[in-house]
Amino acid sequence: MTEKDQEKFQTITVNRKARHDYHILESYEAGLVLKGTEVKSIRNNQVSIQESYAQFKGNELYIIQMHIAPYRFGNRYNLEPKRDRKLLLTKKELARIKGKIETKGLTLIPLRLYFKNGYAKVEIALARGKRLYDKKKDLTQRAIQREAEKELKNKIWGR
């Protein structure tokens, strides 16, 4: 990435547990409707998406339980930290997501929050929850992969 690209794209936070707890099927980029001092708090990394999820209310999609800490210098202009925030997607995307959630029993979770061209964006994913045996299987596969890479590295460097 060049410096110009880094200015246009700045990752704020990543939901690390999402890929451990869910099978990610599709992901979408959505805008966020923010008010007041929330943008300043996000720029200061005072945000958490670990416990959040997305849900439909009528025909609109909202992110729920996303915590944005009150801005330190915001005094009376600060809003409730865990209020529901509207997500901005096209009508086609909303219709497609709503259909898949209702028919297939999937859920919407945020993967990461970032700024793109000065606008706050959230990457949400259609996901299916993993069972305990799926999680264990993934951990063993990762351990095997690490061992293979370690052996390959040792052979290359002659250890």
CATH of the domain at 71: 2.40.280.10
3-state secondary structure of 157: helix
Instruction: Name the nearest CA neighbour of 53 among 113, 124, 101, 103.
Output: 124
> Shortest CA distance to 78 belongs to which of 114, 36, 120?
36
Instruction: Note whether residue 153 is domain-resident.
Output: no
One-letter amino acid for residue 15 of the chain = N
**Residue 144 counted as domain residue:** no
Task: Give the total number of structural domains in the chain.
Answer: 1
Per the domain annotation, does 148 fall within a domain?
no
In a domain, residue 102? The reply is yes
pLDDT tens for each residue of 17-71: 888 888 899 999 999 999 888 888 888 898 999 999 999 999 999 999 999 988 8
> What span, in angstroms and rounded, lies between the C-alpha atoms of 29 and 44?
22
Phi-psi bin for 15: left (phi > 0), alpha (psi -120 to 50), beta?
A: beta
* Domain around 27: 3-130
- Judge whether residue 5 has pLDDT over 80: no
pTM for the complete prediction? 0.78
